[in-house]
Amino acid sequence: MQDLFLERKKKICELLEDPRYVPMKEKELAVLMQVSPKERPELTRALNALVEEEKIVRTRRGCFVRAKEKIRTGIFSGNARGFGFVTVKDEPNDFFIPQEYVGSALHGDTVTISALPVRRGQRPEAKIVAIVNRAVTQVVGTYQEHENFGFVTPDCSQPLPDIFIPREGQKNAADGVRVVAQITDYGDGIRSPQGRITEILGFSGDPGVDVLSVVRSFELPEAFPEKTRNQAERVAKEVSSADCAGRRDLREVLMVTIDGEDARDLDDAVSLTEKDGLFYLGVHIADVANYVQENSALDWEARKRGTSVYLADRVIPMLPPALSNGICSLNEGQDRLALSCLMQIDAAGNVVSDEIVESVIRVDRRMSYSQVKRILEDRDEALIGRYRPLVPMLLQMERLSGILREKRKKRGGVDFDFPECKIELDAGGNPLAIVPYERSVATRLIEDFMLAANETVAQHFYWMEIPFLYRTHEKPDPEKMDQLSLFLCNFGYRFRGGSHPGKLQKLLEQVQGTPEEGMISRLTLRSMKRAAYTTECIGHFGLAAPYYCHFTSPIRRYPDLQIHRIIKEFLRKRLSEERMAHYRELLPEVARHASATERRADEADREVQKMKKAQFMEAHIGEEYEGVICSVTGWGLYVELQNTVEGLIHVSSLTGDYYVYDRERCELVGERTHNRYRLGQKLRVRVAAADRIARTVDFVPVLGE
């Protein structure tokens, strides 16, 4: 019977593939195929089976036609064992790519795939049909020399194959040196990719080579083109009386900059007065758009970079130093051009009136976060005396900051006020310590004022219905919130749902001051979606803000610079229909590219952090620490220490039993002992190994835990 059923399916497929076939309904097919009334149920069963297998399709008119092969496009994620997965937008599951169907695809490539026949109970599988876009064009790694050829072993964390280097592509590289290799041939999945060495970085122990390797692997642009540098030098002239014409003169307004001690690009200043129950807050932002004209060499370079990149031992700026550290930096006592957001705020924290103006300003004092903290929190008498003319304004700022923060809290905004860490390096780039960033009343008040300005500007221009760039943040994925809930249960916290930011804020208030505060705060942050730049104002979930944009950092973020241009054109009444059409066409790509370069900068920073943390732990191998399980996988447990170092306990290190991964409960379970390792569980671990090149740290559990 089964053979007859398969034969019937085969005949149906052959008929539908015949070029003379025209779409027919089941009854018409039965007549054509001479199927008797008695055999009709079997024909129906065969047709339904073929539809389920996606070999044929039933049209809306009830006719049957051959199914066209559905080609999907997605991002390939490779695995060191040869297979991989493709993530397709709007598809509920990733597609598994068996090794024989990977071909020359490398991790991160955009590929097209064709689905393979579905096996009952198995995840969907596919084969890669074509490479749409190569994510990897060059690799950074260690050169291994052989007699007539060599190989570059990539040192990044992604599973990339070794790159074959023929003799003519070696560039006199020595064995064991770190190099950049350009891929010239991607191979075919059997034959290795081939490349040529384009740059020799130095040996692993040489100062700065490790971070430079990350810079090259993410293809971050460092040196500015000569044309861009020259243009920056030409436009970076001191403010003249002609520059001030038509601007609001705010040079007599008392204002300060408050930044870190080592900051050099000071792009925001603040002023505050209080009168008749209203706070008059001014947020004054460097008018970078005055110096970076649209479609100039400076503009194209800034747009390409998208953002400044801050790494452990260096900054890669978006704009040349002549601008970022010079004429666009709001230096103390110097006239500077600015865009000022002037807000009137009532005692409840509501912005009752606002005005955005082109201005000329002069900062009275440059202050640091630590100085303001010592004045407002520590009541340092010597410092209070030194800055006596500013103290009344600083006290008002402290009060307004508290009001704004309380208002944001009431509407449900999430305040991730947890201790982040920074890595202190010596002159050679070696990590000395991992210490918490200091957060204080000073950092909070600047943050509150910048948020207020960003929201005010976004709302102001949203209601004018002109093209604009917004900073948006979608609601979290319910599955991620379920995983977070599971993690929190192991700490004794009850958390249900995360569709409203207020619930997340209540959670963070619960853990405040506890030993697990930093870990839970970081995991909560990771459970949320990434913020992005968009042309549609869909709100910011984390801030519980219906309107939000980035206005306050045009020196280091291209979207801020872009909206400054729009604002200035509006203020000067030059935003014609033609210019509006221009921005409607331009802004979607600006938003996409800025979001992508921001992700690249964040990923590069994370890789450097992982590298330096691994290097730090190399000096602590054999030492024991208290940690918490922050992730559970089929291959082991990831444990985070109090200093934020994360390491892996491989499942093979969990001796005395065979452990199985329970995906639903997200835990490892011993088959014989029934021991369980779960999210949030505290463990005592010993540092077994650390590898700064692989950016990994390995732990083993201490006996008795």
Residues 37-53 have pLDDT tens digits of 888 888 888 888 888 77
- Most confident stretch, 523-537, 581-595, 664-678: 581-595
676: which residues sit within 8 A by CB, 6+ positions away?
667, 668, 669, 670
* Residue 594, amino acid: A
Which H helix or E strand runs over 576? Answer: none
pLDDT reported for residue 122: 64
For residues 465-469, average pLDDT:
95
Position 130 pLDDT exceeds 60: yes
Residue 428 Cα to chain centre, angstroms: 29
Record: fold of 138-203? OB fold (Dihydrolipoamide Acetyltransferase, E2P) (2.40.50)
Write down the domain spans for the chain: 2-66, 71-133, 138-203, 226-474+529-609, 620-701
Average pLDDT over residues 152-173: 85
The per-residue pLDDT for range 380-396, each reduced to its tens digit, is: 999 999 999 999 999 99
Contacts of 88 by beta carbon, 8 Å cutoff, 6+ apart: 72, 73, 74, 94, 95, 113
pLDDT in tens, 309-344: 999 889 999 999 999 999 999 999 999 999 999 999
Q: What is the dihedral of CA 217, 220, 226, 229, to 10 degrees?
A: -150
Average pLDDT for 101-114: 87
Please indicate, yes or no, whether the overall pTM of this predicted structure exceeds 0.85.
no
pLDDT band at 494 (very low <50, low <70, confident <90, very high): confident
Choose between 519 and 591: higher pLDDT.
591
Chain segment 407-451, per-residue pLDDT in tens: 998 888 877 665 578 899 998 889 999 987 778 899 999 999 999
| Mean pLDDT score, 157-182 | 87
Ranges 94-98, 301-305, 330-334, 564-568: which has the least confidence: 94-98
Instruction: Tell me the pLDDT of the chain averaged across its residues.
Output: 89
The correct CATH number of 71-133 out of 3.60.21.10, 3.40.50.720, 2.40.50.140, 2.102.10.10 is 2.40.50.140
- Supply the pLDDT for residue 288: 97
154's enclosing H/E stretch is: strand 149-154
Contacts of 231 (CB under 8 A, 6+ apart): 296, 297, 298
The average pLDDT across 16-20 equals 78
Residue with tokens 């190399």: 618
Q: List C-alpha distances in Å: 451 to 59, 257, 375, 480.
A: 53, 16, 23, 27
Say which residue, 191 or 433, is predicted with more confidence: 433
1: confidence class by pLDDT, cuts 50, 70, 90: low
Longest dimension (CA), the chain: 104
Q: Taking residues 676-693, report their average pLDDT.
A: 90
Give DSSP secondary structure letters for 399-447. HHHHHHHHHHHHHT--------EEEEE-TTS-EEEEEEPP--HHHHHHH
Please tell me if the domain spanning 2-66 has the same topology as the one spanning 620-701: no
pLDDT of residue 705: 45
Sheet holding 278-286, edge to edge: 248-249, 351-362, 335-345, 278-286, 268-275, 256-259, 365-368
How many Å apart are CA 331 and CA 692, to the nearest integer?
39
Assigned fold of 2-66: Arc Repressor Mutant, subunit A (1.10.10)
Encoding tokens for residue 679?
């999210």
How far is the C-alpha of 443 from the C-alpha of 463, rounded, in Å? 31
pLDDT above 90 (res 204): no
| pLDDT at residue 458, as a whole number | 97
Please give the pLDDT value at position 263: 79
Q: What is the pLDDT of residue 119?
A: 60
CATH architecture of 620-701: Beta Barrel (2.40)
Q: Which of 179, 178, 181, 180 is nearest to 203 (CA)?
A: 178
Tell me the mean pLDDT in the region 681-696: 91
- pLDDT value of position 448: 96
What confidence score (pLDDT) does residue 118 get? Answer: 63
pLDDT class of 261 with cuts at 50, 70, 90: confident
Residue at 620: amino acid letter: H
